[in-house]
Amino acid sequence: MGEQREVITADPYIVGKPPARPDGKPGFAAWTEKPSDLSRPDPATCSAPDTHDHAHGLIRVLSDAADAEGEWDPKMDDATLLEGLGYMMKLRVFDDRMIKMQRTGKLSFYMRSLGEEAIAIAQTMALKEQDWIFPTYRQPGAQFVRGRNLVSMINHCVGNIEDNVKGRQMPVHYTWKEGRFISVSSPVGTQFSQAIGVAMASAYKGLDEACITWIGDGASAEGDYHYAVNFASTFKPPVILCVVNNQWAISTHQNLATGGQNFAARGLAYDIPCLRVDGNDFLAVFAATQWARQRIDAGLGPTHMELYTYRAGPHSSSDDPSVYRHADEADYWPGGDPVERLKQHAIKKGIWSEEKHSALEKILDEEIMAAYKEAVKNGDLANGPYPPASTIFTEVYEEVPWHIQEQREELGK
Amino acid sequence: MGEQREVITADPYIVGKPPARPDGKPGFAAWTEKPSDLSRPDPATCSAPDTHDHAHGLIRVLSDAADAEGEWDPKMDDATLLEGLGYMMKLRVFDDRMIKMQRTGKLSFYMRSLGEEAIAIAQTMALKEQDWIFPTYRQPGAQFVRGRNLVSMINHCVGNIEDNVKGRQMPVHYTWKEGRFISVSSPVGTQFSQAIGVAMASAYKGLDEACITWIGDGASAEGDYHYAVNFASTFKPPVILCVVNNQWAISTHQNLATGGQNFAARGLAYDIPCLRVDGNDFLAVFAATQWARQRIDAGLGPTHMELYTYRAGPHSSSDDPSVYRHADEADYWPGGDPVERLKQHAIKKGIWSEEKHSALEKILDEEIMAAYKEAVKNGDLANGPYPPASTIFTEVYEEVPWHIQEQREELGK
Amino acid sequence: MTEMNMIQALNSALDERMNADEDIVVFGEDVGFFGGVFRVTDGLQKKHGAHRIFDAPLAEGGFAAMAFGMGINGLRPVMEIQFADYIFPAYDQIVNEMAKVRHRSGGEFTCPVTIRTPAGGGIRGGHHHSQSPEAQFTHTPGLKVVYCSTPRNAKGLLTSAIECNDPVVFFEPKRCYRGPFYGDPHNVPTWKGHEDADVPEGYYEIPLGQANMVQEGDACTVIAWGTMVHVAQQAIKDCGISCDLIDLQTLVPWDRDAVVNSVKKTGRVVVVHEAPKTSGFGAEMAASIQERCFYHLEAPIERVTGWDTPFPHTTEWDYMPSPSRIAEAIKRTQEE
Amino acid sequence: MTEMNMIQALNSALDERMNADEDIVVFGEDVGFFGGVFRVTDGLQKKHGAHRIFDAPLAEGGFAAMAFGMGINGLRPVMEIQFADYIFPAYDQIVNEMAKVRHRSGGEFTCPVTIRTPAGGGIRGGHHHSQSPEAQFTHTPGLKVVYCSTPRNAKGLLTSAIECNDPVVFFEPKRCYRGPFYGDPHNVPTWKGHEDADVPEGYYEIPLGQANMVQEGDACTVIAWGTMVHVAQQAIKDCGISCDLIDLQTLVPWDRDAVVNSVKKTGRVVVVHEAPKTSGFGAEMAASIQERCFYHLEAPIERVTGWDTPFPHTTEWDYMPSPSRIAEAIKRTQEE
Ligand SMILES: Cc1ncc(C[n+]2csc(CCOP(=O)(O)OP(=O)(O)O)c2C)c(N)n1
Ligand SMILES: Cc1ncc(C[n+]2csc(CCOP(=O)(O)OP(=O)(O)O)c2C)c(N)n1
Ligand SMILES: [Mg+2]
Ligand SMILES: [Mg+2]
């Protein structure tokens, strides 16, 4: 890091500011880190102090020239690599479709993963099938890896009668227990500390299960972040704690949210190995997560990592970032686009081409459009049908208690 | 540090344990740190990374031979040194008297500072008169430095009609605005994050005021700890954040409360200079605090420090530590006693003697006994009189609202 | 007088107070440069400076603690919780700390903090963008609790809240930010032309503890706050029964005289709120009214409330009290 | 049957459940080796192992989150909050997370957590060791709320709470740990010889949602929970009026039939609790009873409660409802 933090005022106390507001010139310090900068310590013996450089540097695999380099190169086989590329593309197409549909009122609201697709996808691919995924709204991509049915995802987003959470939560708040994808909750940060418990329960039962969870740069200011890190430090459960630093929390740049611009290193003092990872480098994200999983295999417990990335789109469908950041800020971001970077790498490797890419995009578009059409047969937010009003009263408790039963009868639906 | 953390079980997850339970042999790693180990960086230019060694080592001034040594030696003048010794002795005599009186029912409850007297006293002496003190129950000593009337302190502890908080809080929950000693609150940790606001308000008003606050090793697990550190990192207000690591939180040893045994270093990743200080070394505590205050003078804002000490007595008058730790554990503690260490130093310097010490003890005992007798004239918990029942209803709001007025009338007192 | 929507009225109160009183500082998530996700603080940073109004780190408990510290050290902080659903990480700082510091310190320290927060449903917010947690604060001595309902009382009450030397939790019905809501999601009027959209531009206060008699009648007393004031008004219109409609405005301390006098007149009561029924503030209203007006009551006090369930997303119109549910309740009070 | 005090009864419930069900884990501050500051978990670590019962870091919000995570992943955690006053840092995890996860996940994830916590006054605990915050949980759908009062129901109810597949907040009246409290601080009986100190040693449950009719009478219905059950019993004795005394035991969901049937019989009601009056659970009782029994009521429902102030230290006997205040209220109900 070492970047100078930009401030609006230091008098009487510091109030930070982003590198640029809409009328300024966006600035990001160029990345000097190279894939060859950092060693890959043995995960089965590595201690927290051994990761000092990894917490302060940046783990990369894909070079600017789109080659895979350095000790962290996971040497991914071609099929897996293309699979990952496909999931990222799928998520992007999916997000685009949903945003379009949101504009027509079929969904109340939507949140894209734009620019951050590599994270949940590469990470889920690096984990075992039985591992628990405890996401925020910015990691829906994990579901593609685990093979969730698209129609079911869309049923949820449009809140129709087939929504598996019965129209109770806003779109993007997926639940999918079968895929070990734990219910998304709106209060930011809560999952981070809860993941400790999930991992401890797996360990308690003697199962080979890990739990991965994420928190945003913004939400890492919540108490839950500290609980998670300190409890992970204390009990050493099989958990992977990921701070997704996409630079922004709605309109609040990380320069306003903390004075320590490096999130990764926070775990060192808690005796947890820490990695800072190029979040837009599919291979680096995969490799770092695989390393963390290997630590868990070795019985060593938690890893803390920062995924350094950039929120390329608006916070949500309700947000217009051009009010608070430069409209072209994304163009100045030196970290590139995760899909584009992996695509170029695959092309360079000779296993992919522009034509194949376009063709796949088209297939995905059709697949998603088909799923969408299938889903809205079950209704959508604009037109219904919705889950019946009776679902308001069920599953509040295991059994409906008398007072809720009375209320249900009062509603008479 | 580097001490191996002791655990009861590592299967299926780690559960720590103290070096010894009542039937074991107490163990503390010997201190290898010497007063000459650590440099004293220029407070007006020092950055967080410059304190790496200070966060991981231990700042000491008083050597095992009771000399003042090393760069951190504050070169305290004799009068000030003896003044400090006197305050520590006074606090200890005061605590002893109160514990005795608690046993007779004159107080409901009491908490001593035994073994930790140097902390609040040296720190308050190192600060400016106008600085805010935001204590836990373990820093009453600050009041002696600021000259609080003993009778008033005792009036509070025995909860009589002259208690300035009107019998509303338990003993040791002092409030003394005139001395800029902010009201003690039972929920642990809350003051730590609140201190940020106190410091920001002082800065906002353009006043040369700092705020010092403390939190226990146990309570540092609360969200408030993280809020404080991250807000201090963000706004850089004139605050001194002190973690008092006295090894125990009631029966819970720090080995059960975190896996990272060093509390000091936690602030580094937040871009806050961090010091780890021998908390039983009056001169080191003074010097470190003076240094932090000089940073504030220079407009640089927060310092984070760990005061490494040992809770030599029970948690409170309700506690019997021999149930959960070795009865003689204190004897194994290598950090010595803060009063004894400063006393020996003063004797070695030729400005103090055993006779003077005993004489002062006697004077203090009489002074406190006299204050005690004076205070209980205003009543005590065993016999009353208590603050009138009407004080239940006042100062809940600025003015008594109608519903509370009605209730007061209902009570009819 | 200027016509304002509720957002503008709140902005105007903040602006006027910040002009008048240097001790006011404002913070919360996204309230600085951006002006808040609902735009209530729009333009204020430019006017008053980043040291007076700024974005806080995303930690409600943390900036509540900061507000506490500023409050006891002479400032008058106004903090925004982005959605009332997210006030709970700050709950300890509010109920154990802010609420008690005056009392616990024998009056030496006071905490004049205002906590503004958009609350309530009607925006398809689901579980965690729709709650109306006022009752979770009314049980804590030391806090004042306010719930505005129109641009006019939003300004008047916020001014008083900021001036108040006690901590105030100030709820804003987000559904009514841009227009009143009469219970029909397909009817989305703005505040334009509404008489309560006429808001004084300068200093304007409505004392805390004072209810607003929205309309008078003699057959039933309808008590509501927030969005439900408008829904209840629609219900009264729909059922054609002559009602007193009391907008409580301040829940703690509530306006005893307004309520008791009305109930003594009508003998019938319907209390309406969005929050779940069990232990909602309607319970306190009902309990207190029967204590004070027992011999005047001609029918059971009715509560029309949200259900005792989490707040749903797609089916929210089946959750929020509707004009017809309220009208039914009013009618039931007349049957006896 | 063995004679137990409340601490032993709770310990026995935990022990029996931990023996029977491997999925139970127990944690909280000082509950491990030490056995808890009130000794409720004494000896259990030795018996069941440190992986099943251990000290949590001092972070109520943190170990509530841990309980949540364990709960949704198949365990049945029982966590202790050392004093109910310290439950608020965990409030968000309890009301926004535990309470809602079953519903929000369409029933895919459930959270069978039990939160035990000593509550209430009478031990000179002042502001922050005396609160009785049950009402702050009864307003949250998805939570069950229990308040025990004797060794016998402590064991029976805790067993049911642990077995319950919903999150349960379980309040223990710390004043009654070692003996019942009849409102006279100078009279400190133990549980010895009390009929409710006879507790079954093995599995023993009392269903949640069921009240206990402590004694029967016909002139008034007195409803209480926790310590106040005993104080109310004393008051009934003192005033010599024939009363039904209902120990509610479970507040959510409360026992409608027991309450309604009694009120229909007596026509008069006094609700007693320690917590402040405004928005206390007594408000819900009064509101619900007048809804359901309006035409049977002969007098206003009385609430005898703590005052709407923080809980004091030296003057706590002027704060807690006393037998004489309760007796006065019972008498008032007879006057009409
Ligand atoms: C406890 C809580 N406070 C506030 C919000 C409102 N909110 C939703 S997302 C968000 C910003 C989150 O930023 P970050 O953590 O960086 O995640 P990102 O959106 O960048 O992925 C805020 C303030 C919330 N959902 N929960
Ligand atoms: C929020 C909260 N939880 C629990 C308690 C009960 N309690 C009082 S002191 C204490 C231990 C504190 O230990 P530590 O922070 O190390 O401070 P020390 O007593 O050692 O000075 C506990 C658990 C409390 N007062 N507040
Ligand atoms: Mg972000
Ligand atoms: Mg300690």
DSSP D104-153: HTTTS-----EEEEEE-SSSS-GGGSS---THHHHTSTT-EEEE--SHHH
DSSP string, C75-103: -EEEEE-SSGGG-GGGHHIIIIIITTHHH
Chains A & C: contacts with CB separation below 8 Å = 138
Same domain, A374 and A413: no
Q: What phi and psi values does residue D287 have, to the nearest 5 degrees?
A: -65, -45
Residue nearest to atom 21 of ligand 1 (CA): A216
- Identify the helix (H) or strand (E) that includes residue B55: helix B52-56
Give the tokens for residue B135.
Answer: 């204590």
How many separate helices (H) and strands (E) can be counted in chain A?
A: 13, 9
| pTM assigned to the model | 0.98
Q: Would you say the C-alpha torsion C75, C76, C79, C84 has a positive or negative sign?
A: positive
C-alpha D110/C-alpha C304 separation (Å) is: 30
Q: Which residue has the tokens 């080796």?
A: D33
Q: Name residue B16's beta-bridge partners.
A: B7
C-alpha A409/C-alpha A215 separation (Å) is: 41
Q: What phi and psi values does residue C28 have, to the nearest 5 degrees?
A: 160, 180
C-alpha B127/C-alpha C199 separation (Å) is: 50
Q: Name residue B134's beta-bridge partners.
A: B213
B221 lines ligand 2 (CB under 6 A): no
3-state secondary structure C206-248: CCCCCCEEEECCCCEEEEECCHHHHHHHHHHHHHCCCEEEEEC
| Catalytic entry in B315, B325, B326, B341 | B315
pLDDT tens digits, C254-297: 999 999 999 999 999 999 999 999 999 999 999 999 999 999 99
How far out from the chain centre does Cα D159 lie? 14
Mean pLDDT, rounded, for C22-41 = 98
- pLDDT for position B222: 98
Same domain, A372 and A389: no
A313 lines ligand 1 (CB under 6 A): no
Cα dihedral A292/A296/A298/A299 (nearest 10)? 140
Q: Name residue C213's beta-bridge partners.
A: C246
Task: Tell me if D62 and A230 make a contact (CB, 8 A cut-off).
Answer: yes
Residue nearest to atom 8 of ligand 2 (CA): B188
Q: Which residue of chain C is at minimal alpha-carbon distance from B233?
A: C57
pLDDT tens digits, A386-409: 999 999 999 999 999 999 999 999
Mean pLDDT, rounded, for B270-298 = 98
Mean pLDDT, rounded, for C132-161 = 98
What is the pairing mode between strands A248-249 and A239-245?
unpaired
| Catalytic annotation present for D129 | yes
pLDDT tens digits, D174-233: 999 999 999 999 999 999 999 999 999 999 999 999 999 999 999 999 999 999 999 999
Task: Tell me if B225 and A226 make a contact (CB, 8 A cut-off).
Answer: yes
Residue range(s) defining the domain that contains residue A189: 58-316+324-382
With 70 as the cut, is the pLDDT of residue B9 above it? yes
User: CB neighbours (10 Å) of residue D174?
Assistant: 26
User: CB neighbours (10 Å) of residue D240?
Assistant: 10
Q: Which residue of chain A is at minimal alpha-carbon distance from B193?
A: A223
Percent of residues, chain D, with pLDDT higher than 90: 99
Read off the pLDDT band of C336 (50, 70, 90): low
Task: Tell me if C105 and B201 make a contact (CB, 8 A cut-off).
Answer: no
Looking at residue B269, the DSSP 8-state letter turns out to be G
With 80 as the cut, is the pLDDT of residue D50 above it? yes
- pLDDT for position B2: 46
Residue B267 lies in a domain: yes
Do D2-199 and D212-333 have matching folds? Answer: yes
Task: Tell me if C91 and D88 make a contact (CB, 8 A cut-off).
Answer: yes
Residue (of B181, B137, B148) closest to B375 by Cα position: B148
With 60 as the cut, is the pLDDT of residue C124 above it? yes
Residue numbers in B near A234 (CB within 8 A): 14, 16, 256-259
Give the tokens for residue B169.
Answer: 């809080």
Cα dihedral B164/B170/B171/B173 (nearest 10)? -70
C-alpha B268/C-alpha A260 separation (Å) is: 8
With 80 as the cut, is the pLDDT of residue D336 above it? no
Residue A150 lies in a domain: yes
With 70 as the cut, is the pLDDT of residue C230 above it? yes
- pLDDT for position A64: 94
Read off the pLDDT band of A27 (50, 70, 90): confident
DSSP string, A51-97: GHHHHHS-B--B-TTS-B-STT-----HHHHHHHHHHHHHHHHHHHH
Residue numbers in C near A408 (CB within 8 A): 307
Give the tokens for residue A68.
Answer: 């895979």
The domain defined by C212-333 carries CATH number 3.40.50.920: yes
User: A135: CA distance to ligand 1 center in Å?
Assistant: 13
With 70 as the cut, is the pLDDT of residue C131 above it? yes
User: D208: CA distance to ligand 3 center in Å?
Assistant: 43
Q: Which residue has the tokens 């006299």?
A: B370
Same domain, A404 and A281: no
Residue A28 lies in a domain: no
Residue B256 lies in a domain: yes
C-alpha C11/C-alpha B406 separation (Å) is: 37
With 60 as the cut, is the pLDDT of residue B1 above it? no
Same domain, A172 and A222: yes
- pLDDT for position A3: 62
Q: Would you say the C-alpha torsion B231, B232, B235, B239 has a positive or negative sign?
A: positive
Mean pLDDT, rounded, for A280-291 = 98
Task: Tell me if A403 and D108 make a contact (CB, 8 A cut-off).
Answer: no
Looking at beta carbons, which pairs linking C237-241 to residues 24 or more positions away fall under 8 Å? C238/C323, C238/C324, C238/C327, C239/C327, C239/C330, C239/C331, C241/C217, C241/C330, C241/C331, C241/C334
CB-nearest partner of D286 from C100, C290, C309:
C290
C-alpha A152/C-alpha B280 separation (Å) is: 63
Mean pLDDT, rounded, for D82-107 = 98
C-alpha D173/C-alpha D120 separation (Å) is: 6
Q: Evaluate whether D194 touches D150 at the Cβ level (below 8 Å).
A: yes
C-alpha A132/C-alpha D73 separation (Å) is: 9
Per-residue CA distances from D333 to C283, C294, D228, D327, D329 (Å): 20, 12, 19, 10, 6
Domain boundary assignment for chain C: 2-199, 212-333
Judge residue C266's burial from the number of C-beta atoms within 10 Å of its C-beta, 0-12 exposed, 13-18 middle, 19 or more buried: buried
- pLDDT for position B261: 75
Judge residue A205's burial from the number of C-beta atoms within 10 Å of its C-beta, 0-12 exposed, 13-18 middle, 19 or more buried: middle
User: C71: CA distance to ligand 1 center in Å?
Assistant: 26
Give the tokens for residue B43.
Answer: 């407070």
> Which residue of B193, B386, B395 is the best one to mutate when testing the D interface, meaning the one whose CB has the most D CBs within 10 A?
B386
SS3 content of chain A, % helix, strand, coil (to 5): 40, 10, 45
Read off the pLDDT band of B30 (50, 70, 90): confident
- pLDDT for position A2: 46
Cβ-proximal residues to C43 (8 Å cutoff; 6+ apart), any chain: C11, C35
- The count of domains in chain A is 2
Chains in contact with D, where contact means 3 or more Cβ–Cβ distances below 8 Å, are: A, B, C
Mean pLDDT, rounded, for C11-32 = 98
With 70 as the cut, is the pLDDT of residue D65 above it? yes
CATH topology of domain D2-199: Rossmann fold (3.40.50)
Residue nearest to atom 3 of ligand 1 (CA): C86
What ipTM does the predicted assembly reach? 0.98
In chain A, what is the greatest distance between 2 CA atoms, to the nearest angstrom? 68
| Catalytic annotation present for B324 | yes
pLDDT tens digits, C80-116: 999 999 999 999 999 999 999 999 999 999 999 999 9
Same domain, A265 and A405: no
| Catalytic entry in C48, C129, C230, C273 | C129
Residue B15 lies in a domain: no
Same domain, B149 and B298: yes
With 60 as the cut, is the pLDDT of residue A296 above it? yes
- Identify the helix (H) or strand (E) that includes residue D275: strand D269-276
Q: Which residue has the tokens 């029942």?
A: B389
Cβ-proximal residues to C265 (8 Å cutoff; 6+ apart), any chain: C218, C221, C244
CATH number at residue B177: 3.40.50.970
With 60 as the cut, is the pLDDT of residue A1 above it? no
DSSP string, A372-385: HHHHHTT-BTTTBP
Read off the pLDDT band of A118 (50, 70, 90): very high
User: B254: CA distance to ligand 4 center in Å?
Assistant: 8
User: A250: CA distance to ligand 3 center in Å?
Assistant: 7
With 50 as the cut, is the pLDDT of residue A4 above it? yes
Q: What is the overall mean pLDDT for chain B?
A: 97
Read off the pLDDT band of A76 (50, 70, 90): very high
Q: What is the overall mean pLDDT for chain D?
A: 98
Residue numbers in D near A177 (CB within 8 A): 105, 108-109
Residue numbers in B near A224 (CB within 8 A): 223
Residue numbers in A near B232 (CB within 8 A): 259
Q: Which residue has the tokens 């609202």?
A: B401
Task: Tell me if B15 and D51 make a contact (CB, 8 A cut-off).
Answer: yes
Query: How near does any CA of chain C get to the CA of A75, in Å?
Result: 39
Residue (of C220, C216, C247, C231) closest to C333 by Cα position: C220
Q: Would you say the C-alpha torsion B285, B290, B295, B299 has a positive or negative sign?
A: positive
Q: Name residue A248's beta-bridge partners.
A: A253
Query: How near does any CA of chain B get to the CA of A265, in Å?
Result: 6
Same domain, B295 and B409: no
